[in-house]
Amino acid sequence: MSIEDRNRYFDTLFATPGLLWLGQNTNHIPPHPAVVAAMKQSIDAQEFTAYAPPLGFEALRAAIVADMGVAGLRALVTEGGVSALSMICRARCRPGTNMVTTDPTWKWPCLFAEQAGAQVRQIPIYNPAHDYRLTPDQLAATVDENTALIYLVDPNNPLGVTYTRAELEAFVAIAHSVGALFVHDCTYRDFAASHTPVVSISTRDTVVTSSFSKWLGLAGMRIGALVAEAPLMAEFAAHSPGVLGASVIAQRAAQAGLAIKAGWMETVRAINLANQAHVHAAVAAIPGLHLPIYPSNGNFLVVETPDAGVAPEALVECYRQEGIMIRQGTYHSATFGHRFIKISTSVPEDWITRFCDLLPIMVARAREMGTVSTGQF
C-alpha cells in the first residue's frame, strides 16, 4: 500500500461531509471552552509567528510532570505522542539489537525500530487464556542481552486491557535484568479505571510517553510528550526532529487542558462508558458478534466478527458507504486482525446511536459482500 494511496484515503475521509470518525480513537466530544479560548487567545496574540522553546514552554513541561505524579522528572513536549516514540526508538535501536512488544500493539514504533536496524519481536497476547494480556513469563522468555527496549502500550490499543502495579514491577525487573529501556506508552491512561505509570515504580531506564490527541481531543494539533529522568530526556531530545519546538497554539491548548483536566475527564469518561454500554447491547443482539474485552480501559472497543460470518474489511466498507469510519483489525495486527473491527467511543452519543442502529443492516450487507480489500489504512 503506497503512501499516496494512504493519503488519498484519508483526504477523501476528510472531504466527506458529516463523517462520523469512529475508527482512530480520536475524541470528538465538544471541547472544553477554556481550551478553545486558549487557542483563540494565542491566535489573536499572533504567537504563531514565533518558534516555541525546543523542549516546550516551561509552564507546560512542569504541568505535564505534575500530572504524571512523580516529582523530579523532566518532560519533553513533542509533536504528538508518535514523535516521542520515534526519537526514543532512534536513540536506542540499531543493527544487532531488538525491540520487544506485544501483538496487537501500536504499529508505528515497530516501524521506527526496524528503520533503525533493530529486530522487532512481538509477543502474541490475543488470547483469552491469558485475559488478552502480556505475562511476565512471556516477556522473560523473549528478551535477551540484545534487547534495547521493551515497548508496552497500556491501556493496550486496540484491546483496552491495562496492567496492575505488580505486573509492571515484574516487567521492569525483567527489563533491568537485560539492561533494556522500558517504554510505557500511556496514551490512553486517562480513560482507564485505574492506571500506574511505570515511572512511579522506577525511574531507572524507564520513560513514559503521552498524548493530548485522545483525552483532550487535539489529534489535529499534534501535541504529546515524554517524561523521564533528566539524562534520559536529554538523550532522547538529541534525536528530536522538532528542534524548533512543538506548535505554540497546541501547547497553549494543552496547558489549558491540564488546568481543567480533573473535572473534564469525569465528563469524558462518563460519555465514553455510556457509549461502550450502548455498543455492548447492540453487539449482544446479533448472533456471532462478540466483545472480547468489556468494558475497555481505552476509548475504543474491539468487536469480533468471524462467528457472524462477516469479514472485518467488508464491515468497514459498508459503514464507510454510510459516512461512518471504523477500522479493521489488520491495521493493528497481521496475525489477529482478521478477527475484529475497532470502534471509537469518545464521541457524541448520537454518533454511537447511529452506529448501533445500523449494525444489523451493516452485518447483513457485509455478509453479502464477502471479503474485500481495504489495505491497512
The pLDDT of residue 119: 98
Q: What is the mean pLDDT of residues 192-197?
A: 97
How far apart CA 160 and CA 272 sit, in angstroms, is 13
Q: Which residue has the cell 459503514?
A: 319
Dist CA 32 CA 217 (whole Å): 10
DSSP string across 177-224: HHTPEEEEE-TTGGGSSS---GGGT--TTEEEEEESTTTSS-GGG--E
Whether pLDDT at 377 is above 80? no
Q: What is the pLDDT of residue 345?
A: 98
- The rounded mean pLDDT for the chain is 96
Q: How many other CB atoms are found less than 10 A from the CB of residue 159?
A: 29
| Residues pairing with 328 in the sheet | 341
**Tens digit of pLDDT for each residue in 286-317?**
999 999 999 999 999 999 999 999 999 999 99
The predicted pLDDT at position 199 comes to 98
Question: Dihedrals φ, ψ of 53, to 5°?
Answer: -60, 145
Q: What percent of the chain has pLDDT over 90?
A: 96
Cα-Cα-Cα-Cα torsion 97, 181, 103, 3, nearest 10 degrees, comes to -70
The C-alpha atoms of residue 282 and residue 278 are separated, in whole angstroms, by 6
**Is a pLDDT exceeding 80 seen at residue 375?**
no
- In the structure, what pLDDT confidence band is assigned to residue 373 with cuts at 50, 70 and 90? low
Question: Do residues 66 and 59 make contact, with C-beta atoms less than 8 angstroms apart?
Answer: no
Encode pLDDT of 23-35 as tens digits: 999 999 999 999 9
User: In which element (H, E) is residue 83 found?
Assistant: helix 81-92
The three cell numbers locating residue 208:
513514559
pLDDT of 184 over the 90 cut = yes
- State pLDDT tens for residues 247-262: 999 999 999 999 999 9
Angle at alpha carbon of residue 112, lines to 108 and 114, rounded to 5°: 115
Report the alpha-carbon distance of residue 178 to residue 238 in Å, rounded: 24
Residue 376 has pLDDT above 80, yes or no: no
- Residue 4's contacts (CB-CB under 8 Å, 6 or more residues apart) are none
Confidence grade of residue 8 (pLDDT, cut at 50, 70, 90):
very high
Is 353 a residue whose pLDDT tops 90? yes
**Which of 273, 293, 291, 292 lies closest to 282, judged by CA?**
291
pLDDT tens-digit series, residues 219-249: 999 999 999 999 999 999 999 988 899 999 9
Q: What is the mean pLDDT of residues 37-48?
A: 98
Closest C-alpha to 182, from 162, 199, 200, 158:
199
pLDDT in the model for residue 371: 73
Instruction: Indicate whether 141 pLDDT > 60.
Output: yes
pTM: 0.96
pLDDT of 15 reads 94
Q: How far apart are alpha carbons 251 and 302 in whole angstroms?
A: 32
- Grid cell in block for residue 188: 490512553
The percentage of residues in the chain with a pLDDT greater than 70, rounded to a whole number, is 99
